[in-house]
Chains A and B, each alone.
Chain A
Amino acid sequence: MTEKPKLGVYICHCGINIAATVDVEAVTEFAQSLPNVVVARNYSYMCSDPGQLLIKDDIQESGLNRVVVASCSPRMHEPTFRKALQEAGLNPYYLEMANIREQDSWVHQDREEATAKAKELVAAAVAKVRLLEPLTPREVDAEPAALIIGAGIAGIQAALDIGDAGFKVYLVEQSPSVGGRMAQLDKTFPTLDCSACILTPKMVDVANHPNIELLAYSEVEEVSGFVGNFDVKVRKKARYVDVSKCTGCGDCAEACRVAGRFPNEFEEGMGKRGAIYLPFPQAVPAKYTIDPERCLFLTRGRCGKSPKCVDACQPGAIDFEQKDEIVTFKVGAIIVATGFDVFDAAKKPEYGYTEFPNVITGLEMERLVSASGPTGGEILVDNGEEQIVPKEIAFIQCVGSRDQSVGNEYCSRVCCMYTAKQAHLIKDKIPDAKVKVYYIDVRAFGKGFEEFYDRVRREGIRYVRGNPSEIFKRGNKLIVKVEDTLTATPLEDEFDLVVLAVGLEPRADDRKTIDLLRLSQSPDRFLMEAHPKLRPVDTASDGIFLAGCCQGPKDIPDTVAQAKGAAASALIPLARGKVSIDAQVAGVIEDTCRGCGFCVSICPYTAIELVEINRMGHMVEVARVNEALCKGCGSCSAGCLSNSIQPKSFRDRQILPQIAALGGIK
């Protein structure tokens, strides 16, 4: 730095957040005594317009060339103050923040000690700010396309929104059909809309949309690049059916030698399918798929004299020679909408789910009441002896939710209401049924939920406050052992059918997505958003967004709202056509770099590669940073054996004086 440093130091009260614990006047006075400090001021809210104006005016009037703001975490307001510097004509990277809120006033009580600590933090920031260099953020072009992973209602909605905005969408779904969990539901709470009736038009829309390329029965294999410029590799799994020829007539499925032998995933195992199948009648695309693990021809090499599906298919669509296909493309943004798993009720053996056929899950109940389900909508259960229409039915809430014993502390948010809805549907179909709902708390928090809960109770559904402890059998009845906690009465109630209101869990195969996109998980194991309140659809990685239950349990309205939010966020780089790249990234001193590649293996963002350069006539390898991928985390710097790679604004010569100041060394 050639010009003499002229520093301004600004101490924020943050209302009483800082001022109640830190003597801001004393800190201001102290700052004035520090070398090169031209002005030091304190103000109630530095981040406010008048607060920022103080800084801007001083820059212009006193010719400040460095600024220290002692306030909150830089994660909160660093962008705010950088902008203020820039607007006053100063390089925005000539700013250093001293965090005297999160790291001081919020965590200490003693005013004297907190004030002393604030002084040290300010002195350290002053020591560093003098040594900062000007940096310039760069802009790169953004690919005007989006990748959406998962085609449940979240993925479908986001795809439609982005497609309608005029951008290309690649919608990847790993199962043979789009639709996800919502397609399995019968009616939706609290309005009792038919789930399929409101979903199927959207399923058809994504298939027909001119801007949406639907890649069903496909999996994302590789993602590299950065916001605006992701390279994506997708594997389209072989269906062994030529989709251009398949008319969806179903002759093959009827003819299949092993038709009706295997549990149908869509029917939660209650219905059966063959080796060639359509998951459900409204499936999109309406194309058949051969299950390679079930098909006789594919597993054993022969199926009678010739495979029956081949004989039955008039358009000749069956193609056992079909191979997986790899598709690659570029996108500017990615939306993860991979959904959820339902809690495995076998993890609560006290309820006998695997033992008694008439203990079923909520999702199984959905299929059982559905007109398109395995019983055609008739509620029939096996009580161990015969198929009966159950007359005494229990619902148990919170199975696998709010339960540390199975590692799920969270509330699944949908079980109270889907139980109320199913209880209503049962009462509708079996008017003389006695239905009891065992609950801990009824959480009817959404729009129209409490009203629906009121309606269901008045229909005669008996709500009993107590969470059952176990289910066993006496004769052909299920005994629910439970305490009615409102009357303190231990009960052994008899039922024909028990429905376990199982909660929602992160998908078992989430790991794959997490590794693919380097995402984080919150303590509940769901995918983590960038900020729980202000950035609920963003992730820590720029350009990657979350929608639906992969981020946490939610109902359909919340899922759709989040999908629309994720779509709007993904559209920002797409519509702008450019993305800016933070300048505070790692830089390599090529003269001293030995090209050992240690930093390449350390970098969590795969931002570093080795390149060959000509060093005084010799071709040597050195590290080079892809600035768009680099997050400035500094891992490379910590690992570098020759101090040749260092994050800008965090170079050794910039932070060592800061650390020394903290240690009281002048």
Chain B
Amino acid sequence: MRGMKMTTENQTFTEKFDLLGCIQCGRCTGGCPVTVRTNLNVRRFVYDAYNEDLLEELSRVADIWDCTACHTCAVRCPKGLKPLEVLIGLRSLVVESGKTEPTVRDALESTFMEGNPWNKPRATRNDWMEGLDVIVAEPEQKVENLFFVCCTIAYDPRVQVTARNIVNLLNKAGVDYAFLGTDETCCGSEIFTLGEDGLFEMLIEDNTEMLNEYQADRIVALSPHCFTTFNTHYPDLNKPVIHYTQLLAELLEQKKLAFKDGLEKKIVYHDPCYLGKQSGVFEEPRSVLKAIEGVELVEFGRNRERSLCCEGGGGKMWVESESKIERLAETRVKDARALEADIIAAACPFCVLTLDDAVKAEGFEEEMRVAEIMEILGELEVMQEKPSSAQEVED
């Protein structure tokens, strides 16, 4: 089930965020990962925002920009509230008043004009495809898997490899797929968390209309942010959305995919908040990694539902925290180092970027590296399992 439609009209702040449902138990702030390095106390905001006269003042507190939208507070809340959305609501007041940081303003403007928050022209969205044999979708053409790349993967040279490698894998495995190409527009995940309600609603409308035109069985998102945003904020989407690790796990399970080479490495998998905590996809990425011969898969002490946020979400790509205290991504790579892992595997472009920076900051480049799962798979020879003769006869 996809989320409820946004109903903002005629609702007070208190009604919109169900502030009266709160029992002030503190599970939100108790679970909030950034409390170890910032002053953010989300429970206090839920408590104080009940007083509508205080909203303006609260929106000026810098702490509201420390939230990474990991959603731990929402997942843990015993009353079904989403405390982080109170912070987003306060950010909206700032965005409405036009007093945002220039970086945020640029990201929003770029999304409005070019369909991506990275100040890149729409025309170059397909540049990552260069030299690859990519099938680009046509609306009327029937296809099983319609791929949604994500702005960050499409434009950021560090993570473009995710898309490039999956194209190679799909071609070799004979999967029925197509990519959206320059039609693809930002899903709005970060636009929502930055508080630009209006723009987010516009993206939902336009993307729903655009995606619904395609004759595809399902949408496969490369980024957990797009994946979860579609599933929670796009009520009128007419096809299911899965994450690419779910597709790979399915191909492996159906024996339509196998890896020829092995990899003698110790890998620790980092659960992205948007994939794990928020959407409950814990096992598929692990099963993909376990399918590689020779891989020793180890676990962080804080894994799955207790995974530590990398601080990449919630619009934090455009808002820097002032805290000088160790970043969570740095804590994470130190934990990985203690496990003597060779590779920190991630399945999210933001996690790759933040963890990569943390490896550099800690000076662990010699000992370990951060890799998107597709980056690891790209180094292996892929085999398409031959269908059995019985199946051929049936076909």
Chain A residues with a Cβ under 8 A of chain B: 349-350, 352, 398, 402-405, 440-441, 465-470, 472-474, 481-485, 488, 490-492
Cβ-defined contact, A403 with B26, below 8 A: no
Given the interface contacts A483-B41, A488-B41, A488-B44, does A467 sit within 8 Å of B26 by beta carbon?
yes
Given the interface contacts A470-B31, A483-B30, does A440 sit within 8 Å of B25 by beta carbon?
yes
Q: Which residues of A contact B77 (CB under 8 A)?
A: 405
Cβ-defined contact, B305 with A349, below 8 A: yes
Q: Which residues of A contact B24 (CB under 8 A)?
A: 440, 485
Sample (17) of A-B pairs whose CB atoms are under 8 Å apart: A352-B306, A405-B76, A405-B78, A440-B23, A440-B25, A466-B25, A466-B26, A467-B25, A467-B30, A469-B27, A469-B28, A484-B26, A485-B29, A488-B43, A490-B29, A490-B32, A491-B30
Q: B39-62 interface mask toward A, CB cutoff 8 Å, 1 = contact, 0 = none?
A: 001011000000000000000000
Bound complex: CA A469 to CA B27 (Å): 5
Given the interface contacts A440-B25, A490-B41, does A350 sit within 8 Å of B76 by beta carbon?
yes
With both chains docked as a complex, state the minimum distance between the C-beta of B19 and any C-beta of chain A, in angstroms.
16
Residue of A nearest to B32 (CB): A490
Q: Which residues of A contact B212 (CB under 8 A)?
A: none
Q: Which of A352, A405, A468, A482 contacts B80 (CB 8 A)?
A: A405
Cβ-defined contact, A470 with B25, below 8 A: no
Interface size range of chain B in the complex: 20 to 34
Cβ-defined contact, B75 with A482, below 8 A: no
Q: Which residues of B contact A349 (CB under 8 A)?
A: 304-306
Cβ-defined contact, A472 with B30, below 8 A: no
Q: B12-42 interface mask toward A, CB cutoff 8 Å, 1 = contact, 0 = none?
A: 0000000000011111111110011000010
Extra pairs beyond A404-B78, A470-B31 (12, CB < 8 Å): A350-B31, A350-B76, A350-B306, A402-B78, A469-B29, A469-B30, A472-B301, A473-B301, A483-B43, A485-B25, A490-B32, A492-B36
Question: Is B72's CB within 8 Å of the partner chain A?
Answer: yes
Bound complex: CA A468 to CA B27 (Å): 6
* Contact residues of B: prevailing secondary structure: helix
Residue of A nearest to B34 (CB): A490
Bound complex: CA A217 to CA B61 (Å): 65
Bound complex: CA A637 to CA B254 (Å): 53
Cβ-defined contact, A467 with B27, below 8 A: yes
Q: Which residues of A contact B44 (CB under 8 A)?
A: 488
Residue of B nearest to A484 (CB): B26
Q: Which chain B residues in 48-91 approach chain A with CB under 8 Å?
A: 72, 75-80
Shortest Cβ-Cβ A-B pairs, 3 listed: A469-B31, A469-B30, A490-B35
Bound complex: CA A402 to CA B80 (Å): 11
Question: Is B172's CB within 8 Å of the partner chain A?
Answer: no
Q: Which residues of A contact B5 (CB under 8 A)?
A: none
With both chains docked as a complex, state the minimum distance between the C-beta of A648 and any C-beta of chain B, in angstroms.
46
Cβ-defined contact, A404 with B43, below 8 A: no
With both chains docked as a complex, state the minimum distance between the C-beta of A481 and any C-beta of chain B, in angstroms.
6
Taking each of A441, A470, A491, A492, which has the highest tally of chain B beta carbons within 10 Å of its own beta carbon? A470
Cβ-defined contact, B304 with A481, below 8 A: no
Bound complex: CA A288 to CA B24 (Å): 51
Question: Is B2's CB within 8 Å of the partner chain A?
Answer: no
Given the interface contacts A440-B23, A490-B30, does A469 sit within 8 Å of B76 by beta carbon?
yes
Q: Which residues of A contact B239 (CB under 8 A)?
A: none
Bound complex: CA A561 to CA B28 (Å): 39
Q: Which of A472, A488, A490, A491 contacts B302 (CB 8 A)?
A: A472
With both chains docked as a complex, state the minimum distance between the C-beta of A442 and any C-beta of chain B, in angstroms.
13
Cβ-defined contact, B26 with A483, below 8 A: yes
Cβ-defined contact, A481 with B31, below 8 A: yes
Residue of B nearest to A397 (CB): B25
Taking each of A403, A465, A467, which has the highest tally of chain B beta carbons within 10 Å of its own beta carbon? A467
Q: Which residues of B contact A350 (CB under 8 A)?
A: 31, 76, 305-306
Q: Which residues of B contact A482 (CB under 8 A)?
A: 26, 30
Residue of B nearest to A473 (CB): B301
Q: Which chain B residues in 214-232 approach chain A with CB under 8 Å?
A: none
Given the interface contacts A440-B25, A472-B301, A490-B36, does A405 sit within 8 Å of B75 by beta carbon?
yes
Q: Which residues of B contact A403 (CB under 8 A)?
A: 78
Given the interface contacts A350-B31, A490-B30, does A404 sit within 8 Å of B80 by beta carbon?
yes
Given the interface contacts A349-B305, A349-B306, A488-B44, does A398 sit within 8 Å of B28 by beta carbon?
no
Q: Which residues of B contact A469 (CB under 8 A)?
A: 26-32, 72, 76
Q: Which residues of A contact B72 (CB under 8 A)?
A: 469
With both chains docked as a complex, state the minimum distance between the C-beta of B309 and any C-beta of chain A, in angstroms.
12
Bound complex: CA A485 to CA B80 (Å): 19
Bound complex: CA A485 to CA B306 (Å): 21
Q: Which chain B residues in 282-337 approach chain A with CB under 8 Å?
A: 301-302, 304-306
